[in-house]
A and B are shown apart, each in its own frame.
Chain A
Amino acid sequence: MVNLVGSLSVLMLLCALSLVALRRYNSSIVAVSLQSLLLAVATALVAHAMGNREGYLAAILTLAVKAVAIPFILHWVKGRTDSGGGPPLKELSPGWALLVAGLVVILAYQSASPVTALGGVLIRASFPQAMSILLLGLFILIVRRSALLQIIGLLVMENGLYLSALTATGGMPVVVEMGMFLDLLVGVLIMGVFSSRIVGAFRSLDTDRLHKLKG
């Protein structure tokens, strides 16, 4: 069971790494949905292992919010933009981005070692991956210029954070989980609305153009 959670977290890490390289909206949304789906399965497995009935509720919420509702919102935002129009935004090339991402993962694994040395089996199996995912999410936020892909970066961070909390505690109280999901949903909704406003103002999702608004 523990091994299975570890494997799932490695798969999630692979999703995050692919998101570092991917720049198309459709495939990015698919990748982040897949990562959320894997997270939901991992949540359910941990709930089963701990015999924690509430954990199943968390898994169902993860599935509903992160793997279904949020991708739906992202698709809506994408639909608002005239996708494919204009040249691709100038960003760090995928090769260089993956190289940096690899270094970040190494650093994360190194830094996680004091924690894993002290923690239980579950932590040992998946905490380094969780931390890597968290840092990669932040990295995506920095590298991407498009508002939509930045939202995806934030979701990756959130997934990493959730995974680390899950493995460290073996499932949080359901009240906390619900609060988190509500926050996330509202946050993504607001960001989605803002993105569509950015498109309305600049005919592009490029957040660097916001710079022009500075007085």
Chain B
Amino acid sequence: MFPLFFSGRGRKVAIFLKLALTLLGLGLAGNLAGAALSCALRRLSSLSRWPSVAAGAACLGYLAAGLAVLLGEGTHVVVLPMFHPLGGFSLSLDPLAAFFLCVIGLVGVAASLFGQGYLRHLKGRDLGSVGAWYNLFLLSMALVVTGANAVTFLFFWEGMALSSYFLVVSKKEDPAARQAGFVYLVMAHLGTACLVVLFLWPAAQIHSLAFARMAILWPGLPAGEKTILFLLALVGFGSKAGMVPLHVWLPRAHPAAPSQVSALMSGVMLKVAIYGLLRVVFTFLGVGPVWWGLLVLGLGVVSALLGVLYALMEHDLKRLLAYHSVENIGIILMGVGVALLARSLHLPALLMIGLLAALYHILNHAVFKGLLFLGSGSVAQATGTGDMEKMGGLIHRMPWTAGGFLVGAAAISALPPLNGFASEWLTFQALFGLGYHPVAWWSGLAGTLGVAALALTGGLAAACFIKAYGVTFLALPRSRAAEKAAEVPRSMNLGAGILAASCFVLGLFPSRVAAVLRPAVAALGGPHPPPPGSFFTLASGMGGASLSPLLLAAILVVLLLATRFWSGRMPERLSATWGCGGTLGATSEYNATSFAKPFRIAFAFLFRPVREINSGYEVSPFFRHSLHYRGEIRFLFEEYLYEPVRSFLLELADRFRQVQSGNLRTYLAYLFLTLLALLAVNNKWL
């Protein structure tokens, strides 16, 4: 048996921890079994659901293990006797890891359930390899968050990147997917390179790769070195989390993967990166200077605004959702930034609210973004396209999918009483708290600007989802594929249903959720006592603001019933829309591009829209036989940041290619000259 170490209170805790460990072990075994099964069964497409079943069972184990630790409060360290020269793999289930394990488990269960039905109808992908990589992806994520030393963390971090890369490129003969995969791989490795330096550089001084030792010894490092470590962590984890300006891979890679994988990548993998950031910045680096918090807050604001603005311009459903992930990572980073500032300024109440807001939003975003991606997967399977301009009217053909998507859209737009509202409310409270505290003029300014930015983000997100939902599900179908769409199998809707129900539960009982999150907040250095508030009410503990979603829900239900009652009494009359004498059809509908037009004009300084109209006529321009419209926006970061770097690298590579002539004698001459030069140096001639 592996050596085990307990730290916790009493016998009950030990039982919880044993239970958690067993469940975690079962989960890991389930993933491994699923991967092996998938490789073994790759030729038998009728059995292709079983890897997904194994993955789902594993995720149940993760969820239960995480909950057991969060409810039991304690830390469990397991040392696996492998790779001892590198310090061995070791796992630890502290409350922070347990919280992220819960996130992985919850979304993983739903995605696997969805995947069972979805994978069977997937065309153009090798189902065996998709099943195997899917299982390994879940396994790696679970082991990243439970890893207790740098070796375990980096090994499975890389495993997570690679397995998701193979899922992104799983659609064969699709050049766009291959290119997306390449961009993803480059960004992932950029991040991993930063992380390797981050963990190994201080190891030279503290002689340990164990996280427990790092937490003790890193705060004693010199301030300059800690600053560099902080920046390394920000770039390394930020590139994986999709923080602007490192977000470029996200809108490419997410649409290329199968939908349940997109749900996991967007809902969970980005959060694993946030886990790393929280772990390193809060538990290892110790209290830092004030500008750390301001930098994270600023990056959060920029990510949130740019993410939602680019999402508004996007007409591919999955790319739109991917940009919304950038936005939500921004909102999470706002909470993290406020918490960092509060820690530097020694404001424990604000620290707790900031951390709680960030963790709560992590959980909520995982749930509703997972739900939305699963919905987009159902739509894509039913219509065979991801382009919103080709959809429409799906609410009549796919009522269950439409219902699930509506719940997700309302949640991501932060409408009460759904879960997005609760965590955005907490983020607002954190920003208000920062604005109110009479610390310095800049903290007030930062808090106020943050509140304004978050409000703008929320408004734009709601507009974007009105567009996404309206164009996709309402009005008349815009293509034959949309006309012929049919509801997807029940298992897929069940997967989405789990997440939709979670949206309600997490939104209606925020104080219960906060109580469960308390150990995780405490693990990050937040104060221990629970936030004030009753069973149904969540209070920020600052300024007397409090929130009772149940009451709000009750009011909403009453309003809804009243309007139904009154509208039932109104006389109703049906007639055709007047079309100026012409006939109106699906082509004259308001579409996604027209919906986004006001925003394209208002934010023209950012989008730099380009428009091109080509009309074909023979005799007079008044009698056209064809009309082509092409409009696109330009991406500032890609144009001004990535393109110069890319062309510089390519040019450099071209220069270096001259060295490689392919002639053997030239290579030998290089060898000879190097040898002579070294001998000359040895003789002190040079």
Q: Which A residues lie at the B interface, using CB under 8 A?
A: 104, 107-108, 110-111, 114, 135, 138-139, 141-142, 145, 207-208, 210-211, 214
Chain B, 359-384, CB within 8 A of any chain A CB: none
**In the assembled complex, which residues on chain A have CB atoms less than 8 Å from the CB atom of B662?**
211, 214
Q: Measured between alpha carbons, how far is A108 from B663 in the docked complex, in Å?
A: 27
Q: Main SS of chain B's interface residues?
A: helix
A207 touches B676 (CB 8 A): no
Residues of chain B with a CB closer than 8 A to A138's CB = 668, 671-672, 675
Report which of A110, A111, A141 forms a contact with B665, defined as CB distance below 8 A: A141
Q: Which residues of A lie under 8 Å from residue B663 when comparing CB positions?
A: 208, 211
Which chain B residues lie closer than 8 Å to A210 at the CB level?
664
The stretch that binds A, out of B1-9, B103-111, B250-258, B677-685, is: B677-685
Q: Tell me the residues in window 627-686 of chain B with beta carbons closer than 8 Å to chain A beta carbons.
A: 661-665, 668-669, 671-672, 675-676, 679-680, 682-683, 685
Of the candidates B665, B679, B682, the one whose C-beta lies within 8 Å of that of A145 is B665
A145: chain B residues at CB < 8 Å are 665
Contact, CB under 8 Å: B668 / A107: no
Chain B residues within 8 Å of A211, by CB: 661-663
The number of chain B residues touching the other chain, given as a range, is 10 to 19
Closest Cβ neighbor of B662 among chain A residues: A214
Q: Is the CB of A139 within 8 A of B679?
A: no
Chain B interface (Cβ within 8 Å of chain A)? 661-665, 668-669, 671-672, 675-676, 679-680, 682-683, 685
Contact of B679 among A111, A141, A142, A207 (CB under 8 A): A111
- Residue contact B669 to A111, C-beta cutoff 8 Å: no
Residue contacts A-B, CB under 8 angstroms, 5 given: A107-B676, A111-B682, A142-B668, A142-B672, A207-B665
Determine the chain B residues whose CB is within 8 A of the CB of A141 once the complex forms: 665, 668
Q: Which residues on A sit within 8 Å (CB–CB) of B668?
A: 138, 141-142
Question: Is there contact, CB below 8 Å, between A208 and B665?
Answer: yes
Q: How far is the CB of A104 from chain B (nearest CB, A)?
A: 7
Min CB gap A209→B, angstroms? 11
Asked whether A104 lies within 8 Å of B676 as measured between CB atoms, the reply is yes
Task: Please name all residues of chain B whose beta carbon is closer than 8 Å to the beta carbon of A208 when the two chains form the complex.
Answer: 663, 665
The 10 A-B pairs of least Cβ separation, nearest first, read A111-B679, A214-B662, A142-B668, A142-B669, A110-B683, A138-B672, A141-B668, A142-B665, A111-B683, A211-B663
Report chain A residues within 8 Å CB of B685.
Answer: 110
Chain B residue at smallest Cβ distance from A210 = B664
In addition to A107-B679, A138-B668, A142-B665, 5 A-B residue pairs with Cβ atoms within 8 Å of each other are A114-B682, A141-B665, A207-B664, A211-B661, A211-B662
A207 CA to B662 CA, complexed, in Å:
11
Using CB atoms, name the residue of chain B closest to A153: B668
Q: What residues on B are CB-neighbors of A110 within 8 Å? A: 679, 683, 685
Residues of A within 8 A of B671 (CB): 138
Instruction: List the B residue with the shortest CB-CB distance to A147.
Output: B664
Q: Which residue of B lies closest to A110 (CB)?
A: B683
A135 to B676, CA, bound (A): 9
Q: Give the complex CA separation of A157 and B101 in angstroms.
A: 62
Smallest distance from the beta carbon of B371 to chain A beta carbons, Å?
Answer: 50
CA distance A133 to B309 in the complex (A): 71
User: Are B680 and A107 in contact (CB-based, < 8 A)?
Assistant: yes
Per the bound structure, the CA–CA distance linking A54 and B664 in Å amounts to: 38
List, in ascending order, chain A residues with CB within 8 A of B676's CB: 104, 107, 135
Q: State A145–B683 Cα separation when bound (angstroms).
A: 32
Q: How far is A104 from B672 in the complex, measured between Cα atoms in Å?
A: 10
A114 / chain B contacts, CB cutoff of 8 Å:
682
Chain B nearest Cβ from A149, distance in angstroms:
11
B665 touches A135 (CB 8 A): no
B661 contact set on A, CB distance < 8 A: 211
* A210–B680 CA distance with the chains assembled, in angstroms: 33
Bound form: Cα–Cα A86–B671 in Å:
31
- Chain A: minimal CB distance from B674 (Å): 11
Assess A139 versus B672: contact at CB under 8 Å? Given A207-B664, A208-B665, A211-B663.
yes
CB neighbours of A214 from chain B (8 A): 662
Closest to A111 in B: B679
Within the assembled complex, what's the spacing in Å between the Cα atoms of A138 and B674?
A: 12
A206 to B669 Cα, complex, angstroms: 17
Cα distance, A185 to B664, chains bound together (Å): 22
Min CB distance, A89 to chain B, in Å? 12
Q: In the bound complex, what is the Cα–Cα distance between A210 and B663 (angstroms)?
A: 8
A207 to B682, CA, bound (A): 33
Report Cα–Cα, A158/B120, bound state, in Å: 63
Q: Shortest distance in angstroms between A20's beta carbon and chain B's nearest beta carbon? A: 13
CA distance A142 to B685 in the complex (A): 24
Closest to B661 in A: A211
Give the chain B neighbours of A135 by CB distance below 8 A.
Answer: 672, 675-676
- Closest residue of A by beta carbon distance from B676: A107
Shortest CB-to-CB span from A102 to chain B, Å, is: 14
Give complex CA distance A13, B209 in Å.
55
Of all chain A residues, which has the CB nearest B668?
A142
Q: How close is A153's CB to chain B, nearest CB, in angstroms? A: 9
Q: Which residue of A lies closest to B679 (CB)?
A: A111
Interface centre among A110, A111, A114, A210, by most chain B C-beta atoms within 10 angstroms, is A111
CB distance from B61 to the nearest CB of A (A): 51
Question: Which residues from B are CB-within-8-Å of A139?
Answer: 672
Q: Which residues of B contact A107 (CB under 8 A)?
A: 676, 679-680, 683
Chain A residue at minimal CB-CB distance from B681 = A111
Name the residue among A110, A142, A145, A210 with the largest chain B CB count within 10 angstroms.
Answer: A142
Q: How many angstroms between the C-alpha atoms of A142 and B664 in the bound complex?
A: 8
A76 to B78, CA, bound (A): 67
Q: What is the distance, in angstroms, from A146's C-beta to the closest C-beta of chain B?
A: 11
A101 CB to closest chain B CB (Å) equals 12
A138 to B672: give the CA distance in the assembly, Å: 7
Using CB atoms, name the residue of chain B closest to A215: B662
* Chain B residue at smallest Cβ distance from A103: B676
Q: Which residue of B lies closest to A131 (CB)?
A: B679
In the complex, how many angstroms separate the beta carbon of B415 from the nearest chain A beta carbon?
A: 60
A139 to B676, CA, bound (A): 11
Centre residue among B661, B663, B665 by max chain A CB count within 10 A: B665
Which residue of chain A has the shortest Cβ distance to B663 in the bound complex? A211
User: Residue of A at shortest CB range from B665?
Assistant: A142
State the CA gap A114–B679 with chains docked (Å).
12
Chain A residue nearest to B664 in the complex (CB): A207
Residues from chain A with a CB closer than 8 A to the CB of B665 are: 141-142, 145, 207-208
Q: Report the separation of the CA atoms of residues A211 and B679 in the bound assembly, to the nearest whole angstrom.
A: 31
- Compute how far the CA of A113 lies from the CA of B680 in the bound complex, rounded to whole angstroms: 13
User: How far apart are the CA atoms of A111 and B569 in the complex, in Å?
Assistant: 106
- How far does the alpha carbon of A111 sit from the alpha carbon of B668 in the complex, in Å? 21
CB distance from B672 to the nearest CB of A (A): 5
